[in-house]
Structure 1
Amino acid sequence: MTFFVSMAADILVAVLLVATIVSSVKLSQRISKLKADESALRSTIGDLVVASATAERAIAGLRTTLDECDRTLAERLGTAERYAADLSAHVEAGESVINRIAAIVGQARTATAPAAQAPAAAAAPLRPVAIEAPAAGGNGERVGAALAAAQALSERALDRLRARAA
């Protein structure tokens, strides 16, 4: 009987040994897969580090571009404000010229009024209207030319009125 017990124990040990070997092989395969996954994971982490560095450089570039755009926009807004102020000054000068021309036309109408109103017109002496030229710049040359033409027109109108009155 001891022979059977000894044989049964040896068979049990052999079965357990085979089971251990099979488990060891399976664990070895799993460890190999984990090592392969580890290298893939290291590769992925390296790619992520490179991508994050690229993203940081891109963000720095975008910030630089944003600062440049902000500076350019501020310059353009300043230029636009200066042009708006110049345009406003030109409009005011134009309105002044129109008002002076209206005054000249009004004087001309009173000078050519019926004889009943002639003494009142004679009491007010006719005088040329001085037109001031705006500051040079931008459209200042055209405005200056228009002012000179208006001045010449007013002087001719006054000369005609004086000739008629005489």
Structure 2
Amino acid sequence: MSHSLGIMIESLVAVLLMLTIGYCMLLNTRLKRLKADEHSLKATIAELITATEIAERAIGGLKHTVRDVNENLGNQLASASQMSQQLKKQLAEGDNVFRRLSKIAIAARPQGAAEPAEPVAAAAPRMSSAKAVAAAAQAFSDRRRTDGLAA
């Protein structure tokens, strides 16, 4: 019996050794896959680092471009504002000149003269040059827009 008990124990140890060898083979294949995944993960990380560096450079370039555009746009807005102020002043001066011309035209008109029924172009050959200028100024003032600008 002691002999068969020894064989059983040795058989059990042999079976356990076989299971251990099989499990080690299984672990070996898993470790190989893990190593392969590690290499592909390293390659992916390297590509990600490269893409990140490219993106950082692009962002830096965009920041520089935005700064330049902002300065340029600020200068253009200041220039446009100055031009707008100049145009307002010139329009006010033009309106002032127009009013003075209208007053001159009204003052140059004879006291009893009525508004001509014919258009100015047809009446111009029969009028003197002063009357023609006055009629032209009157026609010009009649075409005046509601916002103070001449048409």
- TM-score, with normalisation over the residues of structure 1? 0.64
Q: Is 2:44 the counterpart of 1:44? A: yes
Q: C-alpha displacement at 1:20, in angstroms?
A: 0.8
Task: Report the AA paired with residue 25 of structure 1.
Answer: M
Residue 157 of structure 1 and its aligned partner are, at CA, apart by 3.6
How far off is 1:106 after superposition?
Answer: 2.3
Q: What residue ranges of structure 2 are gaps of 5+ in the alignment? A: 113-128, 132-151
- Counterpart for residue 98 of structure 1: 98
* Match in the other structure for 1:65: 65
1:85 Cα deviation from its structure 2 partner: 1.6
Cα separation, 2, equivalents of 1:25 and 1:48: 34
Q: Give distance in 2, aligned partners of 1:16 and 1:113.
A: 135
Cα distance in structure 2, aligned partners of 1:75 and 1:105: 44
Gaps of 5+ in 1: 115-155, 159-166
Question: In the TM superposition, what is the alpha-carbon distance from 1:42 to its structure 2 partner?
Answer: 1.1
Name the counterpart of 1:133.
Answer: none
Three-state SS of the structure 1 residue aligned to 2:111 is coil
Q: Which amino acid aligns with 2:30?
A: R
1:36 is displaced (CA, Å) by: 0.8
Tell me the TM-score normalised to structure 2 length.
0.70
Aligned positions, number: 116
Q: Any idea what SS the aligned residue of 2:90 has?
A: helix
1:113 equivalent in structure 2: 111
Secondary structure of the structure 2 residue equivalent to 1:113: coil
Instruction: Give the superposition deviation at 1:48.
Output: 1.3
CA distance in 1, matches of 2:83, 2:130: 35
**Partner Cα distance (2:9, 2:91) in 1:** 117
For 1:11 and 1:106, locate their aligned partners in 2 and report how far apart those are by CA, in whole Å: 135
Q: Higher relative contact order at CA 8 Å, sep ≥6: structure 1 or structure 2?
A: 1
Q: In structure 2, what residue type is equivalent to 1:113?
A: Q
Distance 2:66 2:60 in 1: 10
Structure 1 vs Structure 2 CA RMSD: 1.9
User: Could you say which residue in structure 1 is the equivalent of 2:80?
Assistant: 80
